[in-house]
Amino acid sequence: MSCIKTQSYVKVERFVNSIEQTNVEKEKTMELYEDKIVTALDEFKLKTVFDISYRTIKGEEGWLYLHTTKGVFPYIVKTDPYPFIEAFREVQKTAAEEE
């Protein structure tokens, strides 16, 4: 099964020593398939994802939220997530029509 759409997001890793705290941003990719969404750490079956929403923090940066049966999962995004959200809704609509 091939990937339908991707969305980059940022994972912030914090390192603390006795003197300071350092934040390192690592870019990751979220992938949308016909039956699931895959992130670097998680895999969500599409049937368990109710919705995806987005809240702007500043400029193009914001929080992308996956609303699932296991809770809400937030991801920091620095690019426009609306094409990914629209692709998700189209896949979700197609799946609902097939049932």
For 6, the token pair is: 């991707």
The per-residue pLDDT for 34 is: 93
H or E element: which one contains 96?
A: helix 82-98
Q: Is the pLDDT of residue 58 over 90?
A: no
| Among 71, 13, 16, CA closest to 40 | 13
Architecture label for domain 5-98: Roll (2.30)
3-state DSSP helix/strand/coil % of the chain, to nearest 5: 20, 55, 25
For 80, the token pair is: 């426009």
CB 68 within 8 A of CB 44: yes
CB 62 within 8 A of CB 79: no
The per-residue pLDDT for 32 is: 98
Top-confidence residue, 89 or 59: 89
Q: Rounded mean pLDDT of 49-67? A: 93
C-alpha–C-alpha distance, residues 74 and 93, integer Å: 23
Model confidence band, residue 1 (pLDDT cutoffs 50, 70, 90): confident
Q: Is the pLDDT of residue 2 over 80?
A: yes
